[in-house]
Structure 1
């Protein structure tokens, strides 16, 4: 049985960042899901259970015995062990695409001290601006050569809570 690809976007951006990959995989005959994590910064910490719930909820449409391949980008990589352990589906593999790696044992900070120092002054009323507003236009523009895609990514971005960056992956789950 072919595994279903579950593409998990960074909590700082939105699911459309995976759209080109999802389209290529679907065109090649694979089933693909891209759960939205846009809501996970809402409410009080801890945030990671909402990430697990979002992925698990998206998989409700898939028969329980169907294997999945989890594919994480950026900081979503930190949450793959928690996602994996929270699913009712067998996980065939986990793939990290330019993704942060969780610690083998114990909690993993979501952001290193130097990133917290960089982002701290950008927070307003405890909320960070959109990810594309963290960087200079000259740095962001080359990442999105298609203007329509770029606009979609900009518009759908969540405004993550600044406290989310101070959270930690719960540890000590392992990928297995």
Structure 2
């Protein structure tokens, strides 16, 4: 990892906003970073810092604190919000990729995927805090993708 991970922090910078894109980010549990950072990136983690997730798809930064930023190359997994590939997971716990969800939707089974994931969550099987780079449940992302597909299909 190069020195570009360390960011000077001007006093006027809002710590809730990504220092590169300016996008507001949600606080991410430290356990998420510990689980998903590459070994070299993990060696630079400052556990006393508060880290946030940058959802901006055009920004390479995934996690940031006032003193440090971790980019997509610093993670062991691709990040759904940052990688448009079909093989990128939307549901990191149960293996639903963008392409698999599209296929299920085309087979008119997309909303069954939501029910399946929800049943796993209710049964206590998910590990979103250590599997999903956001550190939170994927159901919102899966539902949004399906609604977008429904809307695009309805308008065509």
* TM-score, with structure 2 as normaliser: 0.34
* TM-score, with structure 1 as normaliser: 0.32
**Structure of greater relative contact order (alpha carbons < 8 Å, 6+ residues apart):** 1
